[in-house]
Amino acid sequence: MTTRAMSDMVPLLAGKKVLLIGDVMVDEYLTGDAERISPEAPVPVVRVFNDRHVLGGAGNVARNICSLGGIPHLVCITGTGSGADLLDSLLTTDSIDHTFIRIAGRKTTRKTRIIASRQQMLRIDREDTSPISGEALEEVFTVVSQCIDEYDVCIVSDYGKGLVTQTFMERLTALCRSAERNPKILVDPKTPNFKWYQSVFMLTPNAKETSEGANMPVGTQEEIIAAGQAIFDLLGCDRLLTTLGPQGMALFEGRESVWHIPTMAREVFDVTGAGDTVIATAALALAAGLPLLESCMLANYAAGVVVGHVGAATVSPEGLVEAINRSGVPEIEQWV
């Protein structure tokens, strides 16, 4: 594989469609200064001078797909109040096609971070993580079943906010198997829900999630391989992509076939949202018909770009090509 060949893959991502189902949220940042202590209690008084809202969770995955020229369709659950309206506005502003299943009385997830003097002082979470079922679950699958035949790849972005349950995964897996194009299911997992991801195409856990999912350490190459094999035994998935931070990625093409992709990050300022970038890029590349290893290599380059920014960032096609040309093709090592 040459640098030119890798760069030439990037334009192929444009216009490719990915179905995205997951927990979406609003990330709110209240920024100000804290120059005095409250007379009411021994706490700082933060004078807010900036209020910023961005898409989080599955919304950030959708942003990453769009930034690379892809076309996501986001299916998610929300409440019915002002939080849902704000979320709808953010998605519309970013031109992200979306379908809300609105549940009366349910909170739309919003995470508010209060920042003063470049330090996070407090985070406030407004959310409802109760599992969805009944009419709301039926509405989700009515939407998904109506559009599933348009997609070759389906992402499940699980942030543990109640959408993904055992019943949800069982029904989605069965639906994809019976669909005309038999879309590949990629899951960005939440550790407590690991046992539900049976027989999906690929999981994309980070090192911590891999360790917790396998209940094994991942400090060495041997431990990473053993933990990945344990996940294969537990779930029967087709593939596994473990992101290892500064160590890069381990791609399990099977229980006995493991590739190591070294990190392409030049500087790491913030890993927030890097997992969203990885699954978005890999899914889009697979939707473009690229081989799995090359798809994960592109995801590795993309992650290397976003960790060089503060906060959840995205990468453009031009930025991805620049990263490939600057870094060259990594030395892929076959671990197993």
CA–CA dist 195, 208 (Å, integer): 16
Does residue 188 carry a catalytic annotation?
no
Q: Are 99 and 73 in contact (CB under 8 A)?
A: yes
Cα radius of gyration rounded to whole Å, the chain: 20
Angle at 19 between CA 18 and CA 24, to 5 degrees: 115
Q: How far is CA 65 from CA 17, 97, 135, 295, in A?
A: 9, 12, 30, 14
- Closest alpha carbon to 232 in 207, 201, 274: 201
Q: Are 34 and 46 in contact (CB under 8 A)?
A: yes
Candidate list 23, 27, 158, 276, residue with the active-site label: 276
Q: Return the DSSP state at 55.
A: E
Q: Are 115 and 30 in contact (CB under 8 A)?
A: yes
By annotation, the residues acting in catalysis are 276
